[in-house]
Structure 1
Amino acid sequence: MNINDINQFEFKETSKKDKFFSIIESLLFVSGEPLTGKEIAKIIETPLEYTYELMDELTKRYEDSSRGIKLITVNGMYQLVTKAENSDYVQKLLKKNSRQSLSQASLESLAIVAYKQPITRIDIDEIRGVKSESALQKLIERNLIKEIGRLEVPGRPIQYGTTDEFLRQFGLGDLKEMPSIDLFNEVIENEEEQLE
């Protein structure tokens, strides 16, 4: 194999990868739901290990670019989301987005669950200083929080935690990517101002 053959092989391999990247982006864009590596591999008809390599490389490409979206992985599922720094503009466009329609009580309860999980309703009530049952029910209906266990004490109170949908709504790959509590408080204050 001479140098020209090597260059042609590399070009074909790069061209093939770019085609796969294009198909994968289309799938993720129209899906509306996260896709597993297995689902993607089946659709693009590639071995699972090669699909994971493609997904890792595509994720890195998004990280290294100045695009307004990024590719995240949540519990082994892939999804395209907007970058956090563009959230103010996206919120302006999506005034009727689910985050805006959450009440102040729901936003406060969600923040407490997100930062203190696992946590019981009694603990949330204590932190907020008021009952949170209705707010928690709305968050469960929106699939932003869920029951993740029960305390082994009399009454066995439910412990709540966030869901994968919470991560997707806030463009997070996992809970380690959550902003500091001070930044979250700023977001809540901005939400309050917009609702007034």
Structure 2
Amino acid sequence: MRGSEPVEHAPEEPALIDAPEEPASAAAQLPIVGAVESILFVTDKPVSAISVATAIEHPLGQVQAALHSLQQRLDDTDSALELREVGGGWRLYVRADFDPAVSAYVGQETSPRLSQAALETLAVIAYKQPISRGQVAAVRAVNVDSVVRTLLNRGLIQEADIDPDTGATRFETTPQFLSALGINELSDLPPVSPLLPDGQEGFDVP
């Protein structure tokens, strides 16, 4: 009788050891509404919900809920600040009722106001964009080169494209322009055609 053959046993698989979870960042451990508010407080331009969610490592839905919660809290407590959704993001503003207090403290603006010529040129670009320097000059009947440079330096306009007919650079307004006016999109601009002598042949919101 032959001896029993040894029984081969499958090698035991090593026990799986759960990898230790990476500790949450300091920002992720903060109360979400407070974290959102702190970011909005230090920024000088609208901040998207996605960028906030990325920074504090919270789901987008939770950040959006926190933004609306903060907005409601500021409204309910008669805060001097209000949270608005403008220019594709969120930004804190001083309520208009408190402008006199801010003006009294500041005394004078840190940067000079736009000249009347710059405001008129900006209005032409806002309502007729994209538009070239020559087309703006034709509307205003003056040379606008220096004014366009000023608006570019202020970040209120930017190069849009090239006019296919003339090869001239055309300009458009920027998100900073929307933010400065406290509006979310160009369609929020007030209609001005009824106020112009040529009616609907004047300016229309793009």
| TM-score interval for Structure 1 and Structure 2 normalised by the shorter chain | 0.5 to 0.7
Following superposition, the deviation at residue 122 of structure 1 comes to 1.6
Q: Conserved in 2, the CA contact under 8 Å of 1:72 and 1:78? A: yes
Report the TM-score when normalising by structure 1.
0.67
The share of aligned pairs that are identical, in percent, is 31
RMSD over equivalenced CA pairs, Å = 3.2
Find the partner of 1:165 among 176, 193, 203. Answer: 176
Aligned match for 2:138, one of 126, 131, 152: 126
Change (3 A) 1:90 1:156: farther
Letter in 1 for 2:169: I
Q: State yes or no: 1:96 paired with 2:118.
A: no
Amino acid at match of 1:95: Q
Matched, 1:140 2:145: no
Change (3 A) 1:161 1:87: farther
Aligned to 1:150: 162
Deviations 1:49-72 (A, max 9, x none): 221233244445557775444333
Deviation, 1:88, is: 7.2
Tell me the residue number matched to 1:27: 39
Over 3 Å counting, the alpha-carbon distance change for 1:33 and 1:141 in structure 2 is same
Letter in 1 for 2:134: I
Equivalent in the alignment of 2:53: 41
Q: Aligned to 1:109, which of 101, 113, 121? A: 121
State the AA in 2 paired with 1:159: R
The total of aligned residue pairs comes to 164
CA distance in 2, matches of 1:49, 1:21: 13
Gaps of 5+ in 1: 1-18, 183-196
Aligned to 1:51: 63
- Quick check: 1:81–1:168 contact (8 Å CA) kept in 2? no
CA distance in 2, matches of 1:65, 1:179: 31
Q: Output the CA distance in 2 between the equivalents of 1:140 and 1:97.
A: 18
Unaligned stretches of 5+ residues in structure 2: 1-30, 194-206
Which whole-Å CA distance do the structure 2 matches of 1:133 and 1:163 have between them? 18
Q: Distance in 1 between matches of 2:125 and 2:70?
A: 32
Q: 1:162 to 1:125 in 2, by over 3 A?
A: same
> After superposition, what is the alpha-carbon deviation per residue over 1:104-140, rounded to whole angstroms, capped at 9, x for unaligned?
2211111111122222212211121101111001100
